[in-house]
Amino acid sequence: MKHTKEFDIAIIGGGLVGTSLAAALAHTDLRIALIDARPASSKPTLEDYDERSLALGYGSARIYQALGLWSKIATAATPIQTVHVSEKGRLGVTRLNASDLDSNALGYVVTLRHLGSVLDSSLNHQAGLTRFQGARLQHLEADGEAIEISIVTDQGPLSLRAALLAGADGTQSMTRTLLGIEQQDLNYQQHAIIANVTPELPHKNQAFERFTPDGPLALLPLTNNRCALVCTQRPEDAARTMHLSVAAFLRDLNARFGYRLGRFVRTGKRECYPLNLMIPERLTGQRSLLLGNAAHTLHPVAGQGLNLALRDVALLAQLLTQYTDPGSPELLTHYATLRMRDIRATAQYTDGLVRLFTHPSNLLGHLRGAGLILLDRLPPMKRQIARIGMGERRYLYGRLFLGLPTEPLAR
């Protein structure tokens, strides 16, 4: 049979969350295996009109700062100065400003290419890290001492043994399936159309959240006056929108969004995703835990998914400095208790927004309009909501949340 390699932690999944976790453990003496199904490839390094992006809250920027990565990420990050919230067909508008919070930005928009490449290059030459690319998790078995993991690579099967397995293998997580963890799934019956678009007027670093009867529409500011569009629609409408000509798509977008940025004059490639809410019944198994999309998949309305995942990473990195055995039941319980609270609260926040603003009741519609007007005149409440959106939570725990590096544990 194959040779077994020994590690302290095996991370399944080398997406943004798996690589962020590996980077967060760079200054420890842990032996880490990072296993990703994607083969090693040379990724494009040039800006492309169509590249995908996401919004990182201020809290996430602070975590990357503590990891020593923020200065590199920031070179291509677009700060969000204002978030403008409105509802189509109603008068109420709320504006959240960075200056109201004495902050430089409410968050930042970064491209997946840039963030991925900063994370990837930070892992090159990381002591104690072994990467397995083009390698898939197939089987696992835990005992009191360790977890045995079977993976399949182009070179054949391999067996690894680790004190802890961290499953960061996305929404369809194989780790979650193999651990027999059930999940709650909610199909929103909505699809998100993603595209980069260019408006006639400068975006001035404003992000827009616009609620329409078909679903919410978000526009994030990007470099070269591009905006990243996430437009949610019913599946049948989304299928029609995907087939519109460029001119008809731009007209349709103006009809949904309005003319706050003038006409939309350019669009890139459109992509369409079905939207679900997924929360697992538990976050841990014997010598194993879940993080990132494997542990929570949310509606993208408030751009919370990766931000929430970075809080999984930050807590785990902190706990690994406090417990000598990385997979001990005490560490796992500590992780699950603190993370489930944040995951449920964030899922309720995003799900509540979707439900509140897509409810067809006319009375509720008037109340929403009045609520947005009122909120705009209540700075303390606005600040509170902005802090939630930025990723601030009262019950977060650990040094990375404060922007400070973790202190390595002497093992």
Ligand X SMILES: Cc1cc2nc3c(=O)[nH]c(=O)nc-3n(C[C@H](O)[C@H](O)[C@H](O)COP(=O)(O)OP(=O)(O)OC[C@H]3O[C@@H](n4cnc5c(N)ncnc54)[C@H](O)[C@@H]3O)c2cc1C
Q: Could you say which residues in the range 319-338 bind ligand X, by CB under 6 A?
A: none
The only residue of 69, 306, 332, 353 in contact with ligand X, by rule CB under 6 A: 306
Give yes or no for residue 343 binding ligand X (CB under 6 A): no
Distances (CA, A) of 386 to 79, 155, 249, 343: 15, 49, 31, 18
* Binding span for ligand X by CB under 6 A among 72-80, 168-176, 332-340, 375-383: 168-176
Rounded CA-CA distance 260/386 in Å is: 22
Tell me the one-letter amino acid at 171: T
Give yes or no for residue 115 binding ligand X (CB under 6 A): no
Q: Residue 396 CB, nearest distance to ligand X (Å)?
A: 16
Distances (CA, A) of 352 to 82, 304, 357, 399: 22, 13, 8, 30
Q: Could you say which residues in the range 46-85 bind ligand X, by CB under 6 A?
A: 54-55
* Binding span for ligand X by CB under 6 A among 164-172, 237-245, 349-357, 394-402: 164-172
Give yes or no for residue 168 binding ligand X (CB under 6 A): yes
Q: Residue 139 CB, nearest distance to ligand X (Å)?
A: 10
Report strand pairing: 215-221 vs 78-80.
Answer: unpaired
Report strand pairing: 53-57 vs 4-12.
Answer: unpaired
Neighbouring-strand partners of residue 107: 57, 80
Q: Residue 370 CB, nearest distance to ligand X (Å)?
A: 28
Give yes or no for residue 250 binding ligand X (CB under 6 A): no
Q: Can you spell out the DSSP letters for 164-229? A: EEEE---TT-HHHHHTT--EEEEEEEEEEEEEEEEESS--TTEEEEEEETTEEEEEEE-GGG-EEE
Give yes or no for residue 303 binding ligand X (CB under 6 A): yes
Give yes or no for residue 342 binding ligand X (CB under 6 A): no
Rounded CA-CA distance 64/72 in Å is: 10
Nearer to ligand X, 396 or 409 (CB): 396
Give yes or no for residue 174 binding ligand X (CB under 6 A): yes
Rounded CA-CA distance 297/168 in Å is: 12
Give yes or no for residue 199 binding ligand X (CB under 6 A): no
How many chain residues are in contact with ligand X, going by CB under 6 A?
32
Looking up tokens 């990381």 gives 126
Q: Can you spell out the DSSP letters for 22-44? A: HHHTTTS---EEEEESSPP----
Nearer to ligand X, 92 or 353 (CB): 353
* Binding span for ligand X by CB under 6 A among 156-164, 179-187, 277-285, 306-314: 306-314
Rounded CA-CA distance 387/254 in Å is: 30
The only residue of 15, 215, 216, 280 in contact with ligand X, by rule CB under 6 A: 15
Contacts (Cβ under 8 Å, ≥6 apart) of 155: none
- Largest interatomic CA distance in the chain: 69
Q: Residue 380 CB, nearest distance to ligand X (Å)?
A: 26
Q: Is the dihedral of CA 53, 54, 58, 60 positive or negative?
A: negative
Give yes or no for residue 221 binding ligand X (CB under 6 A): no
The only residue of 36, 87, 209, 342 in contact with ligand X, by rule CB under 6 A: 36
The only residue of 10, 179, 229, 230 in contact with ligand X, by rule CB under 6 A: 230
Contact pattern from residue 355 through residue 384 relative to ligand X, giving x for each residue in contact according to CB under 6 A and a dash for the rest: ------------------------------
Distance of CA 68 to the CA centre of its chain: 20
Q: Residue 366 CB, nearest distance to ligand X (Å)?
A: 30
Encoded tokens for 122: 């930070």
Name the closest residue to ligand X (Cβ).
15
Q: Residue 169 CB, nearest distance to ligand X (Å)?
A: 4
The only residue of 31, 136, 282, 399 in contact with ligand X, by rule CB under 6 A: 136
Give yes or no for residue 207 binding ligand X (CB under 6 A): no
| Residues within the interface to ligand X (CB under 6 A) | 12-18, 35-38, 54-55, 136-137, 168-170, 174, 192, 194, 230, 273, 292-293, 300, 303-307, 309
